[in-house]
Amino acid sequence: MVFWQDGGVSRAIGMVTEVYAMVATHYELLTGGPAFPGYTRLGVLEKIRTLEVVPPRRLVPVIPRDIEAVCLK
């Protein structure tokens, strides 16, 4: 379990959040940019909630289909 600080209080981050963070990092490493770019946390969260992610192969065509499938799960 991973923890983060919120005003000096440690809070546990659940498994779903950990998996999302891992895949988001993987997406950025593959494409060279974040899946949902934004200037504020709320702006990014709104994009995550309302938009579909751009498939990595559309940005970098040489990415293998299997790797893209993992990223899009």
* Each residue's pLDDT tens digit, 24-56: 999 999 999 999 998 998 998 899 899 999 999
Q: What confidence score (pLDDT) does residue 8 get?
A: 59
pLDDT above 90 covers a percentage of the chain that reads 51
Q: What confidence score (pLDDT) does residue 51 get?
A: 93
pLDDT at 10 over 90: no
Strand partners, 4: 11
Q: What confidence score (pLDDT) does residue 9 get?
A: 59
String of DSSP letters for 10-58: EEEE-HHHHHHHHHHHHHHHHHSS-SS--SSHHHHHHHHHH-PPPPHHH
Top-level CATH class of 2-72?
A: mainly alpha
